[in-house]
Amino acid sequence: MATITPPPDGVYVPVPTFFRSLDQSAYKQPLDLTAQTEHTLFLAEAGITGLVLCGSTGEAVHMTLGERAELISSQKRALLEKGFDKVVILAGTASQNIEETVSVIAESKAAGADYALVLTPSYFASAGGYSEEGMRAWYTTVADSSPLPVLVYNYPAVTNNLQLSLGLMKHLSKHHNIVGCKLSHGNMSHHLILSSSPEIDHNGFRVFTGLGQQLLPLMLSGPGSGGAIDGSAAYFPRTLLRIFALAKKIAAGRASPAEWSEAQELQCAYSEVEEWVVKHGTVGIKEGIKQVLGISVGQDGGRLPFCETHVRREYDRFRNIFETMQDFENKLKRDI
């Protein structure tokens, strides 16, 4: 049996899915693979480690299973054609039942994905329908059957505020086919413990934060910290990559005082721009892509019931913060 390894440490971007405007006659908003590919290649050229396709930001819950596979295969093909064969693809699953989850993973693998980012099932969470034993069995069964290595995706904001316990996460970390997790919540204690606990093999289980605004402190929290899977990197990738690189030097004790200062300055500015995503989520990320990169996100932005109209009206309140970050981004691009 081949050795199963975690995804490489680094910066991953949970990319939004691009749609064309609503076709009233067909009641559809078709995929816009041209815009999708333009954005994918921008990120690859900036040096990001990987993409998350069909995740929460990617509106997987608004897509058919066939569209998910089409999206992955088109972007994999575009990356390979341009020589970006090292860019890793994590595929979101976003399904409640085991059979469909495993089926989505299998289709994602066939389309070109390298890892599965498995969102916690949550439909009955607010009704008290889930036990620790049940969640353990659900994830274990998925991992046993998954044709791709699995990362546990803990995102309480989209799972009825269900947060997986430390005991459960430690147990799952020992599964041979579970190679890491994405923590999209602000509980820094959980990140520190899962990154540092002697009960976990940190070579086989990497902890990624879903919050780029916390990357610097979380990279210093323990040997299991793998990096970030963050939305603002969709338009400011070089800044987060620089924070990651500086954080690694700091954690290794090799950073100069000037590098410490640079890391703090960049993290502060990046955290400021992240407040836009905190407030507006997926549609905010799409508006950021439109404003910063000039890539079309379609008349409607997201797929209905998402609608960006209110977000576009608010962008001016954040414009100065975005322009400050763009200055950092431009300088980093020149310095390469």
Q: Place 265 in a pLDDT band, splitting at 50, 70 and 90.
A: very high
Specify the pLDDT at position 147.
97
Give residue-wise pLDDT tens across range 113-153: 999 999 999 887 777 778 889 999 999 999 999 999 999 99
Instruction: Return the closest-CA partner of residue 184 out of 148, 221, 237, 228.
Output: 228
Q: Report pTM.
A: 0.95
Q: Is the pLDDT of residue 94 over 70?
A: yes
Bond before 237 cis per omega within 30 degrees: no
Residues with catalytic function: 153, 182
Can you tell me the mean pLDDT for 63-88?
97
Residue 148 vs residues 110, 115, 198: alpha-carbon distances, Å: 10, 5, 26
Percent of the chain exceeding pLDDT 70 equals: 96
Gap between the Cα atoms of 112 and 93, Å rounded: 14
In this predicted structure, the answer to whether residue 195 has a pLDDT above a threshold of 80 is: yes
Provide the pLDDT for residue 299: 63
How does residue 301 score in pLDDT terms, banded at 50, 70 and 90?
A: low
Domain map (residue ranges) of the chain:
10-335
Q: Give DSSP secondary structure letters for 228-287.
A: EE-GGGGT-HHHHHHHHHHHHHHHTT---HHHHHHHHHHHHHHHHHHHHHHHHHHHHHHH
Higher pLDDT, 41 or 95: 41
Cα distance between residue 310 and residue 142, in whole Å:
39
Assign a CATH topology to domain 10-335.
Answer: TIM Barrel (3.20.20)
Computed over every residue of the chain, the mean pLDDT equals 93
Rounded to an integer, what distance in angstroms lies between the CA atom of residue 151 and that of residue 173?
9
The better pLDDT of the pair 96, 51 is held by 51
Closest CA to 6 of 229, 204, 223: 204
105 marked as part of a ligand binding site: no
170 burial type by CB count under 10 A (0-12 exposed, 13-18 middle, 19+ buried):
middle
Residue 115 tokens, joined:
């890892």
- pLDDT of 335 over the 90 cut: no
57 annotated to a ligand binding site: yes
